[in-house]
Amino acid sequence: MLLTADIGNTNIVLGAFENDSLVFVSRLATERARTEDQYAVELESIFNLNKVDFNAFTGAIISSVVPELSNTICLAIKKILGISPLTLSPGLKTGLNILTDNPAEVGSDLVAGAVAASNKYPLPCLVMDLGTATKISVIDKNGAFCGCSIAPGIAISLEALSSRTSQLPNISFKAPDRVIGKNTVDSMRSGTVFGTASMLDGMCQKIEKELGEKIKTIVATGGLSSDIIKSCENEITADPVLILEGLKIIYEKNISKKR
């Protein structure tokens, strides 16, 4: 079995693969102050909860946008599984041609998502990652990563709206029944959900025009994607495990290379 871990600013998403089957997916809150022992306890509990034999794992790979946690999670995995994980970094073979000014600075989550999308979907493709930040990656017809756009995430926007205004409350994230809000909460939800959906639709249009070719696939991943894409005009495929699948592909490229 292979353990994959996507370490994000809000959540750590774990996935265990047995051959090509995803056995389980689990999410942990990202807490930078936790030690390797604390994360090891969490990992042990997750494996037990999913009735997975520790000895069944033969490999592990992580993607991290939280540098201060990368080594902590690696040590926790090694403590529980006895395996030193691969870390997705510029030294690993990905098969992805990155056409940016500085390929080394592209986030490992974006790389993993692009690798999976280029292997799974018709190209050109857009990958929307709706998490702490709202990111749209552009993959051209040749499978190359052209670049991306990054905007504040939905949760961050809501938090800023509530904390910076005296009369606007903290609200739960939920799409309202209509765009024209009749009360404060529904008005905030309208602006957040429908506003984000409209921004995504508009960005798709602008990216397609700039790319100069028809976008064949739009894929959405990330913790908040399922609620937003329902309100988009474009046809968008939800793929919540895209990054985990990309990590699996990258792991296999590097293990076969060593062999």
Homologous superfamily, domain 103-246: ATPase, nucleotide binding domain (3.30.420.40)
Q: Locate the domains of the chain by residue range.
A: 2-87, 103-246
Closest CA to 16 of 29, 26, 8: 26
Could you report the per-residue pLDDT of 118-147, keeping only the tens digit for each? 999 999 999 999 988 899 999 999 999 999
User: Domain 2-87 falls in which CATH fold?
Assistant: Nucleotidyltransferase; domain 5 (3.30.420)
Closest CA to 13 of 228, 219, 245: 245
- The catalytically annotated residue of 20, 53, 101, 109 is 109
> Do the domains 103-246 and 2-87 match in fold?
yes
Query: What pLDDT sits at residue 158?
Result: 76
User: Is 186 assigned a catalytic role?
Assistant: no
Query: What CA–CA distance (Å, rounded) separates 250 from 259?
Result: 14
Distances (CA, A) of 194 to 73, 150, 224, 230: 36, 18, 13, 10
Instruction: Provide mean pLDDT across the span 71-91.
Output: 95
Could you report the per-residue pLDDT of 141-191, keeping only the tens digit for each? 999 999 999 998 888 877 777 776 666 666 667 788 899 999 988 888 888
